[in-house]
Amino acid sequence: MSFVNKSVNTRAAVVWEDRWVRFRMALKVRGVEAGRHDYYRGWILKWLGLIKPKSFRQGTEDDLRKFLMQMVGEGKKDWQLRQADEALRVFYQDVQPVAWAKNWPEDAVEEVARRGGGVRRLATDEAAEVPRPPTEGRRTRDFSGREDTGELPGKYANFVESVQECLRTERYSYRTEQTYLDWVRRFLIFARPGNRRELSWREVVGYLDYLTLKRRVSNSTLNQALSALQFLFGRVLKKPVGGAEGVKRPVASRAVPTVLTREEVGSLFGEMEGKGLLMAKLMYGAGLRVMECVRLRIKDLDFGNRYIVVRGGKGDKDRRAPLPEVLVGELKGHMKGVREQWEKDAALGVEGVFLPDALALKYPNAEKEWGWYWVFPAGGLSADPWSKKIRRHHIGVNGLQQLVKRAARRAGLTKPVSPHTLRHSFATHMLEAGADIRTVQELLGHSDVSTTMIYTHVLGRPGSVAASPLDGMQAFGSGIS
């Protein structure tokens, strides 16, 4: 009998040890310093002592309020109430989720403080090193002295790191991660909170007003900032997003795409040479986005079947794109030089190339194989932002964008030209040549045909620009020459 009890106790200890590990991980994600984790665990143990003989799963919101009232009766300070409240929130939302904790009673601490001895200003367990902004407690459009640029104070470094960890846990792309982190940094510089507990959605509303009224950003930029801050509050801080201080997402404008004529495409190519010219031809000939082009790997080019496999395109979707016949010889010649670079990297002991989705663990040697090497490798080695290994990355996007823009200026093109203009031109010229719009949709990787329909502005197609009535005035002798 004693052996059975010992086994049960051992299993229970293992289960709780696992819970404590997950509890510490959840605290870290929320930005709680490691040195405070034991204090948070202590509140959970105190809570378990209160609700016995009930199971911790049977704890309720009423029990939470009783627990906080008991702490007030014991003379606990306000910051201790807040700390205990947060410990229970983390435990019941992230470690052992229960239904009632999804909508955490935000007013519990304030209510208990009032009932326990008058309304008091609820301090936190961290000193507010930075003075509160003048807009605290109310929505205002007075942005004097408030900016979102400059250097991020060092006190926020650990919090930003916890946001980055959460983004990677949610499997966001690296580019999205960097964009969201940039908005979080800007928001922290603007809001200047004393600590993470002081962040409220009201500050988000004020920041979005600032972006709209003072910086006059576009709707697409405002949408990007809103998405980043919704992630911050909903996934990292686990706080309500919106509510009475909700924000209506602005409708992004939809501009008519810039399309070059075939003659203009030829003029653009005439001002380019080398690797940049080859990449521009590939984007136009296969309808590739600029990131899809620079991320191409050797194995993605199927010369036998004359197609390109575009992997992890927009929306993380794979597709096939046509491999232009006229580029086959040029690409094969280019790849001879690339193979020489690959062999040099192997001889130097370079760590190989980056592999997505933990494929490096599944296929340990794949990162050094020829098939996984970049079609357009960078000229130098750099540190992998994920593993910190020194690798050869693909060529940068910014350099290609500037190359195309400079070539457009030399060619005398007055249209705003970027690498993406070549993709627009591919779609339009395909439709002009009689391709079915569903085929073009598939080649472009659009999830909805309505996105592809924007290219039907070409002449002779539904939705195209009709002839001007002024052009028909000549027949009536109106003096139009």
Categorize the per-residue pLDDT at 462 as very low, low, confident or very high, splitting at 50, 70 and 90.
very low
CA 114, CA 109: separation in Å to the nearest integer? 9
Active-site annotation holder among 24, 185, 392, 423: 423
Domain ranges of the chain: 2-117, 154-245, 262-457
Can 40 be counted among the known catalytic residues? no
Indicate if 154-245 has the same CATH topology as 2-117.
yes
Can 115 be counted among the known catalytic residues? no
Q: Which CATH superfamily is domain 262-457 in?
A: Intergrase catalytic core (1.10.443.10)
Global pTM?
A: 0.61
Active-site annotation holder among 46, 214, 334, 420: 420
Residues 6+ apart with CB under 8 A from 157: none
Active-site annotation holder among 192, 299, 314, 320: 314
Can 139 be counted among the known catalytic residues? no
154-245 CATH pick, 1.20.120.1200, 1.10.150.130, 3.40.50.970, 2.60.120.1440: 1.10.150.130
Active-site annotation holder among 289, 319, 391, 393: 289
| Paired tokens of 20 | 């404590």
The CB-side HSE value for 481 (13 A sphere, CA atoms) comes to 0
Least confident window among 56-60, 241-245, 341-345, 419-423:
241-245
192-210 residue pLDDT tens: 888 888 888 888 888 998 9
On the question of pLDDT at 183 being above 50, the answer is yes
Q: What is the mean pLDDT of the chain?
A: 81
pLDDT at 357: 67
On the question of pLDDT at 311 being above 80, the answer is yes
On the question of pLDDT at 229 being above 60, the answer is yes
DSSP one-letter code for 319: E
On the 0-12 / 13-18 / 19+ scale of CB atoms within 10 A, 76 is middle
For strands 377-383 and 319-322, give the pairing.
unpaired
Can 28 be counted among the known catalytic residues? no
| Cis amide prior to 97 (ω within 30 degrees) | no
pLDDT at 22: 79
Active-site annotation holder among 40, 180, 373, 455: 455
Q: How far is CA 408 from the centre of its chain?
A: 31
DSSP one-letter code for 474: G
394 φ, ψ (degrees, to nearest 5): -75, 170
Least confident window among 127-141, 302-316, 429-443:
127-141
pLDDT at 9: 52
Other C-beta atoms lying within 10 Å of the C-beta of residue 212:
16
Provide the residue type at 83 as one letter.
Q
CATH number belonging to domain 2-117: 1.10.150
Provide the residue type at 169 as one letter.
T
Kindly report the length of the chain: 481
Can 314 be counted among the known catalytic residues? yes
Residues 246-251: contacts with CB under 8 Å, at least 24 apart:
247/204, 247/205, 247/208, 249/223, 250/219, 250/222, 250/223, 251/219
Mean pLDDT of 399-407: 93
On the question of pLDDT at 455 being above 90, the answer is no
pLDDT at 115: 66
Can 455 be counted among the known catalytic residues? yes
